[in-house]
Amino acid sequence: MATIYHDEDARLEAIAGQTIAVIGYGNQGRSQALNLRDSGLSVIVGNIRDYALEQAEADGMEVHPIAEACRRAEIAMLLIPDEVMPEVFERDVAPQLRSGAALSFASGYNIAFGLIQPDASLDVVLIAPRMIGIGVRERYVSGEGFPSFVGVHRDATGNAQQRMLGLARGVGSTRAGCIEMSMHDEASLDLFTEQAFGPAFGRVLSSAVELLVEAGYPPEAVLLELYLSGEFAYSFEKMREVGGLEQMKYHSHTSQYGSATRSRRFMHLSDPIKQKMGEVLEEIRSGTFADEWSRHQDQAAQLFAKIREAREHSDMNRWEESARRAFRIGNAAR
Ligand code: NDP
Statement: residue 57 has pLDDT above 80: yes
The CB of 29 under 6 Å from ligand 1? The reply is yes
Q: What is the pLDDT of residue 332?
A: 74
- Which atom of ligand 1 approaches the CA of 132 most closely? 40
CB atoms within 10 A of CB 316: 15
The CB of 290 under 6 Å from ligand 1? The reply is no
Segment 115-142, tens digit of pLDDT: 999 999 999 999 999 999 999 999 999 9
Nearest to 36 by CA among 91, 77, 96: 77
Closest residue to atom 9 of ligand 1, CA basis? 26
The CB of 27 under 6 Å from ligand 1? The reply is yes
The CB of 79 under 6 Å from ligand 1? The reply is yes
Give the mean pLDDT of 82-96. 96
Question: What is each CA distance from 62 to 13, 51, 77, 103, 329, in whole angstroms?
Answer: 22, 15, 15, 19, 39
Closest residue to atom 35 of ligand 1, CA basis? 106
Closest residue to atom 24 of ligand 1, CA basis? 27
Statement: residue 58 has pLDDT above 90: yes
Give the separation between CA 144 and CA 281, rounded to whole angstroms. Answer: 32
Q: What is the pLDDT of residue 49?
A: 81
Which residues are CB-neighbours of 113 under 8 A, at least 6 positions away? 187, 287, 290, 291
Ligand 1 pocket mutation, candidates 23, 28, 194, 304, criterion most atoms within 8 A of CB: 28
- Which atom of ligand 1 approaches the CA of 131 most closely? 42
Nearest to 169 by CA among 33, 10, 44: 10
CA atoms within 13 A of residue 28's CA, in its CB half-sphere: 23
Ligand 1 centre distance from Cα of residue 82 (Å): 7
The letter for the amino acid at 200 is: A
pLDDT band at 215 (very low <50, low <70, confident <90, very high): very high
The CB of 25 under 6 Å from ligand 1? The reply is yes
- Which atom of ligand 1 approaches the CA of 133 most closely? 40
Q: What is the pLDDT of residue 334?
A: 63
The CB of 26 under 6 Å from ligand 1? The reply is yes
The CB of 107 under 6 Å from ligand 1? The reply is yes
Give the mean pLDDT of 147-176. 98
Q: Do residues 100 and 158 lie in contact, with contact meaning Cβ atoms separated by under 8 Å? A: no
Statement: residue 68 has pLDDT above 90: yes
Which residues are CB-neighbours of 330 under 8 A, at least 6 positions away? 324
Nearest to 256 by CA among 246, 242, 270, 268: 246
Statement: residue 30 has pLDDT above 90: yes
Give the separation between CA 200 and CA 104, rounded to whole angstroms. Answer: 32
Segment 283-312, tens digit of pLDDT: 999 999 999 999 998 999 999 999 999 999
Q: What is the pLDDT of residue 52?
A: 84
The CB of 22 under 6 Å from ligand 1? The reply is no
CB atoms within 10 A of CB 298: 7
- Among 2-6, 42-46, 110-114, 323-327, the minimum mean pLDDT is found in 323-327
Nearest to 167 by CA among 332, 301, 36: 36
Segment 92-111, tens digit of pLDDT: 999 999 999 999 999 999 99
Give the separation between CA 194 and CA 202, rounded to whole angstroms. Answer: 11
The answer, as to whether pTM is greater than 0.85, is yes
254-262 contacts: CB < 8 A, separation 24 or more? Answer: none
Segment 245-260, tens digit of pLDDT: 999 899 999 999 999 9
The CB of 88 under 6 Å from ligand 1? The reply is yes
Segment 191-200, tens digit of pLDDT: 999 999 999 9
DSSP state of 8: G
Statement: residue 70 has pLDDT above 90: yes
